[in-house]
Chains A and B, each alone.
Chain A
Amino acid sequence: MHSLNGDGPEKTLLMSNLLIFGIVRLLVCDKNIVLNNLGVTVEGVAPGSVGVTPRSNIYTSRGAKSMRKSSKLSLFTAAACVLALGLSACGSSSSDASSDASASTSIINAYGCEPQNPLIPTNTNETCGGNPIDLLFAKLVSFDAKGKASNEVAKDISANSDNTEFTITLKSGWKFTDGTPVTAESFTKAWSYGADATNAQVSSSFFSVIKGYDALQEKGVASDAQLSGLKVVDDNTFTVALNEPSSVFPIMLGYTAYAPLPESFFKDPKAFGEKPVGNGPYKFESWTHNQSIKLVKNDAYKGNQQAKNGGITFKMYTDVDPAYADVQAGNLDVLETVPSSATTTFQTDDTLQAYNKAGSVFQSFTFPSTLEHFKNDEEGHLRRQAISMSIDRKAIVDKVLGGIGTPAVDFTSPVTPGYSDSLKGNSVLKYNKTEAKKLWDEANKISEWKSSDKLTFAYNADGGAKPVYDAIVNSVKNTLGIDAATNPMPTFSEFRAAVTDRSIKSAFRTGWQPDYPSAENYLKPLYSSSAADGNGSNDGDYKNTAFDKLISQAASSSSEDEANKDYQSAQEILLEDLPAVPLYYSNAAGVAAKGVKGFTMNWKNLPVYQDLTK
């Protein structure tokens, strides 16, 4: 609400003594809509008439007071209740049109949702806040639509021989929208703030690769303590020392959490979170909670992602269905998902433009290493392969998902640099009934699968995964003739809690959305031994030293191609062990209103906002 305290006159209250909470004013809005429709004016109901006058006569034909009164009863009740509540009935309905948008540069209305946290790069790990933040801040590197990284604020990022120390120099002339320059300190101070546990930033673990991170996790560290691995050389140069080699660090620098922050942030982080100041292609204009976040083009921006429109307004929704209806009616310009009610129709719907291509989100289910018969040993591997080969991925993608997925053939995604659809051993991801049965029988020779044994798949029921898991269970039952069932858990929060405290005793749904476009981001956090046992996202506690070795070899390799070769060999190990069974890649599927030009989606399954025009 722009103005709760409206411009209408305040009216005296009836029964204000009953009000306990702070909202005590009955506001009469400028249009006077509600009260006009009630047919009563506020003055029309005298305070006394709400009360009851005792009468002595019983009800006789003449005892009824007046018919005028009873015919007005429904209105009367309504008015009495309204007044008793004493709550404001209307807010102002000021026009939404952006005042400073000139005719030539259009404002794009994009789907948005209320951020869960203030708009601070290191405290945002969900898309509601992440999408605006990514447009507000230019990082050291930027990614094009295909995920190819190139330097943006950085002039040069150079590594030492074993990729443990990086020297970063900045281009000169970059400024925040408040006019202050972007310096080396804008980065080092921002990262230290994010890493410091005292500041309770949800993305803090992204800085765990930098030296000195552990020291900032102790209780009672000063809120302005600095990471010891960051050294400012001069205004435009700083060095980063890492805990271990990482060839992918320059790509990580393009992730939201690594954004620079202006000096004003550190003076008042709270105020900044409501009104962020960045250096990106767009400038922050306003954030009306639960309604919209408005960004306008930043004319001073000289980076790689020049805006072709005059601004982006994120209109907030709590559900995708109404947003889809708004796109159909032309009230919303772009929506990056398709509600499940429209998956079969959106590509033929002529009231909008559809987009549907293989995307970057990897969907799988994971076997805990402690699950009986499915442990990380020979029997387990055979059974995992048998299960994998008894699932008809193509049928699931076509029939259950309505075509907005692509069957998986590796552990990354088709839009990830280094992706290959011909990895050795990927036939294990193809539907093959006879081979599945054969592998299962082989496993039975090692240890018998009794008729009382049962395989269950757990998933969170609030994310629309039910039809997929029902199909998997049927597929497995029909192919192998074993007892299988699903175990839906009501909410994501409950499901994740069971996964993280390892109380889950079944296979369970896993999905991964990359933070930066690199195979490393799909592999290291999910399957390396260092990320197991609660230290990362290796929820199945998979451990394989050969895999770990390839990942660290890739981390210290000198070229991206070389690293990608190692990541491919590492995946070939995973295809044998199947710590997780790849299912499909969620497509980048979205819709835009008719008349919107330049609608494409990028490696994050998001629209390329800055290219949209209308």
Chain B
Amino acid sequence: MGKYLLRRVLQMIPVVIGTTLLIYALVFALPGDPVKAMFGDKPVNEAVAAQIRSEYNLDKPFIVQYLLFLKNALTLDFGKTFSGQQVIDVIGRAFPVTIKLALMAFVFEAIFGVIFGIISGLKKGKWYDTVILIVSLLLISVPTFVTGFVMQFVFGVKWHILPVTAGTNPGFLDLLMPAMVLGSVSMAYIIRLTRSEIASNMNEDYVRTARAKGMTNNAVTMRHILRNSMIPVVTYLGTDIGALMGGAMISERIFNIQGVGNTLYQGILRGEGTLVVSIVTILVLIFVICNLVVDLLYAVLDPRIRYA
């Protein structure tokens, strides 16, 4: 177990180095010149441009730039953005908001997804099963920005039930609508995943055996059907938390949430290599850690799984 954990943690090192190198190269290869773009459509003062390039090491070859970034990153110095702010401060402002949003979306999709999935799976063919299936199909097929704009208009602008945008320092209510929009597609997937897992597990031999032994219906459902149905759901949820954090860009733009997605988008537009790489690295770490947690959780769900 300890060995397994250590191996997994050590595996993270090449993953992080690989991704940072790749992302750095991609940002470097972006067409256009970030320094020239700073001048807008005004004439570029070459002396000033040269000054800015040397300040941000942009005048050095790619590999030197990357190694300098890596060297500084090891001492927790992630450099500064073109606006002169420390990258670490920018990240420190963006992540709490996004984490709050992602967690709310996560809780929303996990609770409602599993509950509706169970209802629908256990009572296959009933009218509410059909309703749940149709709604989940709708959520999957309609793009998030449509759901977002419609909800924003109806609940925010027309009915004044929920805040239109999250704005500064968003609290629970401010993030409620964005979180529902963000979590809606995953929720629909979880409903369908849970439903089909339950449906197939209900026909398993061990379920029939349990029933034959005279176990109560409730015990069979809880101990045998649900527990076994949760493994793929947990896998999905685990990988989804990373996706929720990195993929919140659309909801963040619709509801004006100054989180990771928006910061990343701005960073890419402005060609800010260090900012983009730092954020992506953290997202990669989140993915890797969540995957590890999910793998460890399998053993809780299914005692046959062991790690060595």
Contact = CB atoms under 8 A, between A and B. Distances in A.
Interface of A: 1-2, 4, 18, 20-23, 31, 33-34, 37-38, 50-55, 57-59, 61, 63-65, 67, 69-71, 73-78, 80-82, 84-85, 87-94, 96, 114-118, 125-126, 197-205, 217-219, 270, 273, 288-292, 315-319, 321-323, 325-326, 328-329, 331, 351, 462, 490-497, 500, 510-512, 525, 531, 535-537
B107 A78 contact: yes
A80 B294 CA distance: 9
Interface string B79-108: 000111100111111111101100110110
Interface stretch (B62-70, B124-132, B160-168): B160-168
A7 to B, nearest CB: 14
A291 B165 CA distance: 12
25 contacts: A33-B171, A34-B107, A51-B1, A54-B1, A57-B303, A69-B300, A77-B293, A78-B237, A84-B292, A90-B96, A93-B171, A118-B83, A125-B38, A125-B40, A197-B48, A197-B51, A198-B51, A217-B45, A319-B256, A326-B165, A326-B167, A492-B37, A493-B36, A493-B37, A537-B42
Interface string B244-257: 00000000111110
B171 A4 contact: no
B296 interface: yes
Contacts of A77: 110, 234, 237-238, 293-294, 297
Given A85-B99, A115-B83, A291 B168 contact: yes
Contacts, number: 300
B157 A328 contact: yes
A319 B96 contact: no
B222 A71 contact: yes
The binding surface of chain B is classed by DSSP as helix
A56 to B, nearest CB: 8
A512 B40 CA distance: 11
Contact of A291 (B91, B169, B226): B169
B158 to A, nearest CB: 9
Given A319-B256, A322-B255, 18 more contacts: A18-B289, A31-B171, A37-B107, A54-B1, A55-B306, A61-B209, A78-B106, A88-B99, A89-B103, A91-B169, A114-B266, A116-B270, A290-B258, A291-B167, A318-B265, A321-B253, A326-B167, A331-B164
B203 to A, nearest CB: 17
A461 B193 CA distance: 39
A67 B216 CA distance: 13
B90 to A, nearest CB: 8
Contacts of B256: 317-319, 322-323, 326
A16 to B, nearest CB: 12
Nearest to B84: A118
Contacts of A323: 165, 256
Contact of A34 (B34, B103, B213): B103
- Shortest 6 CB-CB contacts between residues of A and residues of B: A493-B32, A197-B47, A494-B32, A493-B37, A290-B258, A52-B299
Contacts of A22: 76, 88, 92
B191 interface: no
Contact of A84 (B30, B44, B163, B293): B293
A91 B101 CA distance: 12
B14 interface: no
Contacts of A204: 45, 47-48
Nearest to B113: A74
A317 B165 CA distance: 10
A273 B47 contact: no
A125 B96 contact: no
A52 B255 CA distance: 40
A10 B179 CA distance: 26
B289 A52 contact: no
Contacts of B83: 114-118
B176 to A, nearest CB: 10
Nearest to A539: B41
B7 interface: no
Given A61-B206, A78-B110, A315 B167 contact: yes
A217 B47 contact: yes
Given A70-B222, A77-B234, A126 B40 contact: yes
Interface string B267-288: 0011100000000001001100
Given A197-B48, A325-B165, A87 B99 contact: yes
Nearest to B296: A52
B210 A23 contact: no
B52 to A, nearest CB: 5
Interface in B204-218: 206, 209-210, 213, 215
Contact of A4 (B50, B96, B110, B234): B96
Given A85-B289, A322-B255, A537-B42, A33 B303 contact: no
A21 B92 CA distance: 10
A294 B162 CA distance: 25
A512 B43 CA distance: 12
Contacts of A500: 36, 44
Contacts of B252: 318
A416 to B, nearest CB: 18
Interface in B124-183: 149, 152-153, 156-157, 160, 163-165, 167-172
A288 B168 contact: yes
B24 to A, nearest CB: 17
A362 B206 CA distance: 76
B279 to A, nearest CB: 11
B125 to A, nearest CB: 25
Contacts of B224: 61, 64
B290 interface: yes
B156 to A, nearest CB: 6
A189 B244 CA distance: 50
B153 A61 contact: no
A494 B30 CA distance: 8
Given A80-B297, A200-B51, A21 B97 contact: no
A200 B160 contact: no
Contacts of B306: 54-55
Contact of B42 (A125, A290, A491): A125
Contact of A496 (B41, B82, B110): B41
Contacts of A63: 303
B262 interface: yes
A74 B111 contact: yes
Nearest to B46: A217
B3 to A, nearest CB: 13
Interface in B9-34: 9, 30-34
B45 A205 contact: yes
B290 to A, nearest CB: 5
A200 B82 CA distance: 12
A93 B256 CA distance: 16
B185 interface: no
B302 interface: yes
